[in-house]
Amino acid sequence: MKKVLFLIVLTMIVTVLAIGQEKSKSIDNQNAKVEQTIRKMEQELSDDLVKGSAVSFERYLADSFIFVSDEGTVVNRADYMAILKAGDLKYESSKMDQIKIRVYGNTALMIFRTTDKAAYKNDDISGQFRWTDVLVMEGDNWKIVSSQGTKIP
Protein backbone atom coordinates (compact mmCIF):
# COMPACT_ATOMS: atom_id res chain seq x y z
CA MET A 1 0.00 0.00 0.00
CA LYS A 2 2.83 2.41 0.87
CA LYS A 3 4.52 1.66 -2.47
CA VAL A 4 1.32 2.39 -4.39
CA LEU A 5 0.80 5.66 -2.51
CA PHE A 6 4.45 6.60 -3.08
CA LEU A 7 4.11 5.88 -6.85
CA ILE A 8 0.92 7.96 -7.11
CA VAL A 9 2.56 10.94 -5.35
CA LEU A 10 5.71 10.57 -7.46
CA THR A 11 3.65 10.45 -10.67
CA MET A 12 1.78 13.60 -9.66
CA ILE A 13 5.03 15.46 -8.91
CA VAL A 14 6.59 14.44 -12.23
CA THR A 15 3.44 15.52 -14.10
CA VAL A 16 3.36 18.92 -12.41
CA LEU A 17 7.07 19.47 -13.14
CA ALA A 18 6.61 18.48 -16.81
CA ILE A 19 3.68 20.89 -17.23
CA GLY A 20 5.75 23.66 -15.60
CA GLN A 21 8.64 23.05 -18.00
CA GLU A 22 6.34 23.15 -21.03
CA LYS A 23 4.81 26.42 -19.83
CA SER A 24 8.31 27.85 -19.29
CA LYS A 25 9.37 26.82 -22.81
CA SER A 26 6.22 28.42 -24.23
CA ILE A 27 6.93 31.70 -22.41
CA ASP A 28 10.58 31.62 -23.55
CA ASN A 29 9.47 31.10 -27.18
CA GLN A 30 6.92 33.91 -26.89
CA ASN A 31 9.53 36.26 -25.38
CA ALA A 32 11.99 35.40 -28.16
CA LYS A 33 9.37 36.39 -30.76
CA VAL A 34 8.69 39.66 -28.92
CA GLU A 35 12.42 40.40 -28.74
CA GLN A 36 12.76 39.75 -32.48
CA THR A 37 9.83 42.10 -33.20
CA ILE A 38 11.27 44.85 -31.01
CA ARG A 39 14.75 44.53 -32.57
CA LYS A 40 13.17 44.86 -36.02
CA MET A 41 11.21 47.94 -34.91
CA GLU A 42 14.28 49.63 -33.46
CA GLN A 43 16.30 48.89 -36.62
CA GLU A 44 13.56 50.45 -38.77
CA LEU A 45 13.62 53.55 -36.56
CA SER A 46 17.41 53.77 -36.85
CA ASP A 47 17.27 53.28 -40.63
CA ASP A 48 14.64 56.03 -40.93
CA LEU A 49 16.80 58.45 -38.94
CA VAL A 50 19.60 57.98 -41.47
CA LYS A 51 17.13 58.39 -44.37
CA GLY A 52 15.65 61.51 -42.81
CA SER A 53 12.23 59.84 -42.68
CA ALA A 54 9.66 59.89 -39.88
CA VAL A 55 7.48 57.08 -41.29
CA SER A 56 8.40 54.39 -38.76
CA PHE A 57 8.21 56.91 -35.91
CA GLU A 58 4.58 57.64 -36.88
CA ARG A 59 3.88 53.91 -36.72
CA TYR A 60 5.81 52.92 -33.57
CA LEU A 61 5.48 55.85 -31.15
CA ALA A 62 2.49 55.70 -28.81
CA ASP A 63 0.21 58.75 -28.64
CA SER A 64 1.41 59.17 -25.03
CA PHE A 65 5.11 58.96 -26.05
CA ILE A 66 7.60 60.95 -23.96
CA PHE A 67 11.26 61.54 -24.88
CA VAL A 68 13.90 62.61 -22.36
CA SER A 69 17.09 64.01 -23.91
CA ASP A 70 20.59 63.71 -22.52
CA GLU A 71 20.18 67.32 -21.31
CA GLY A 72 17.03 66.42 -19.35
CA THR A 73 14.57 68.04 -21.74
CA VAL A 74 11.18 66.31 -21.83
CA VAL A 75 9.40 66.26 -25.20
CA ASN A 76 5.96 64.85 -26.05
CA ARG A 77 5.12 62.92 -29.22
CA ALA A 78 3.85 65.91 -31.22
CA ASP A 79 6.96 67.99 -30.49
CA TYR A 80 9.25 65.01 -31.16
CA MET A 81 7.60 64.38 -34.53
CA ALA A 82 7.89 68.08 -35.38
CA ILE A 83 11.64 67.94 -34.70
CA LEU A 84 12.01 64.90 -36.96
CA LYS A 85 9.92 66.40 -39.77
CA ALA A 86 11.61 69.82 -39.64
CA GLY A 87 14.80 68.31 -41.04
CA ASP A 88 17.03 69.89 -38.39
CA LEU A 89 18.12 66.45 -37.17
CA LYS A 90 20.45 64.81 -39.68
CA TYR A 91 22.05 61.39 -39.24
CA GLU A 92 24.86 60.15 -41.48
CA SER A 93 25.00 56.85 -39.60
CA SER A 94 23.72 55.11 -36.51
CA LYS A 95 24.87 51.68 -35.33
CA MET A 96 23.14 49.78 -32.51
CA ASP A 97 24.84 47.27 -30.23
CA GLN A 98 24.86 46.01 -26.63
CA ILE A 99 21.13 45.30 -26.96
CA LYS A 100 19.28 43.93 -23.96
CA ILE A 101 15.53 43.31 -24.02
CA ARG A 102 13.37 42.25 -21.10
CA VAL A 103 9.71 41.33 -21.53
CA TYR A 104 7.20 41.68 -18.69
CA GLY A 105 3.84 40.57 -20.08
CA ASN A 106 2.53 43.40 -22.26
CA THR A 107 5.46 45.68 -21.36
CA ALA A 108 9.04 45.49 -22.61
CA LEU A 109 12.25 47.30 -21.79
CA MET A 110 15.06 47.72 -24.31
CA ILE A 111 18.48 49.07 -23.36
CA PHE A 112 21.06 49.58 -26.09
CA ARG A 113 23.99 51.67 -27.24
CA THR A 114 24.28 53.61 -30.47
CA THR A 115 27.31 55.03 -32.18
CA ASP A 116 26.02 58.00 -34.17
CA LYS A 117 27.35 60.49 -36.66
CA ALA A 118 24.74 63.23 -36.58
CA ALA A 119 23.97 66.93 -36.35
CA TYR A 120 21.10 68.94 -34.90
CA LYS A 121 20.63 72.42 -36.36
CA ASN A 122 24.17 72.14 -37.75
CA ASP A 123 25.65 71.39 -34.28
CA ASP A 124 27.60 68.13 -34.20
CA ILE A 125 25.91 65.67 -31.83
CA SER A 126 27.96 62.65 -32.88
CA GLY A 127 29.05 60.11 -30.30
CA GLN A 128 27.92 57.10 -28.38
CA PHE A 129 24.62 57.08 -26.55
CA ARG A 130 22.96 54.70 -24.10
CA TRP A 131 19.22 54.38 -24.72
CA THR A 132 16.35 53.05 -22.65
CA ASP A 133 13.06 52.47 -24.46
CA VAL A 134 9.88 51.32 -22.75
CA LEU A 135 7.32 49.61 -24.97
CA VAL A 136 3.75 48.45 -24.36
CA MET A 137 1.43 46.28 -26.37
CA GLU A 138 -1.41 48.40 -27.79
CA GLY A 139 -3.90 46.12 -29.51
CA ASP A 140 -1.75 43.81 -31.62
CA ASN A 141 1.21 46.18 -31.93
CA TRP A 142 4.15 47.18 -29.78
CA LYS A 143 4.45 50.93 -29.23
CA ILE A 144 7.22 52.95 -27.64
CA VAL A 145 5.84 54.97 -24.74
CA SER A 146 9.10 56.38 -23.45
CA SER A 147 12.63 56.84 -24.71
CA GLN A 148 15.61 58.30 -22.90
CA GLY A 149 19.07 58.84 -24.32
CA THR A 150 22.28 59.62 -22.45
CA LYS A 151 25.51 60.61 -24.19
CA ILE A 152 28.38 58.39 -23.11
CA PRO A 153 31.40 60.57 -22.24
CA distances from 47 to 43, 85, 89 (A): 6, 15, 14
- For residue 98, the model assigns a pLDDT of 97
Please state, in angstroms and rounded to a whole number, the distance separating the CA atoms of residues 119 and 125.
5
For residue 109, pLDDT beyond 80: yes
CATH T-level fold of 30-152: Nuclear Transport Factor 2; Chain: A, (3.10.450)
For 25-84, what is each residue's pLDDT tens digit?
Answer: 555 677 899 999 999 999 999 999 999 999 999 999 999 999 999 899 999 999 999 999
Determine what percent of the chain is predicted with pLDDT higher than 70: 81
Mean pLDDT of the chain: 89
Give the pLDDT mean for 118-135. Answer: 96
Contacts of the segment 103-108: beta carbons below 8 A, 24+ positions apart: 103/31, 103/34, 103/35, 106/136, 106/137, 107/134, 107/135, 107/136, 107/137, 108/34, 108/35, 108/38, 108/134, 108/135, 108/136, 108/142
Gap between the Cα atoms of 138 and 63, Å rounded: 11
pLDDT for the residue 27 = 57
pLDDT of 145: 98
